[in-house]
Amino acid sequence: MKVHVNGLTGIQWAWCIVLSLFTFPMNFILKFVPDSWFYDMGEEDPKEVEKFNADYRILARKTRELSSSVRNRSF
């Protein structure tokens, strides 16, 4: 398929709309699928969670310091 020089043609628009409408019935069907059928991504190691939280606090502190140094700079 090619794109028209002046944008999408009417047929291309129609295809986009028709294909996007399939998301509604798919969403409705998936609402009735139990979560137990899918992989559970929880259960992180508590030590790793604390390590990432510490890294985040360091990053947040550095971001605040950088932000305040930029605000205090005079031109």
End-to-end CA distance of the chain: 53
pLDDT in tens, the chain (75 residues): 666 678 888 898 999 999 999 999 999 999 999 988 888 777 788 899 899 999 999 999 999 888 877 666 655
Q: What pLDDT does residue 25 have?
A: 95
DSSP 32: T
pTM for the complete prediction?
0.39
Task: Name every residue whose Cβ is closer than 8 Å to that of residue 3 and which is 6 or more positions away in sequence.
Answer: 12
Annotated domain spans of the chain? 10-71
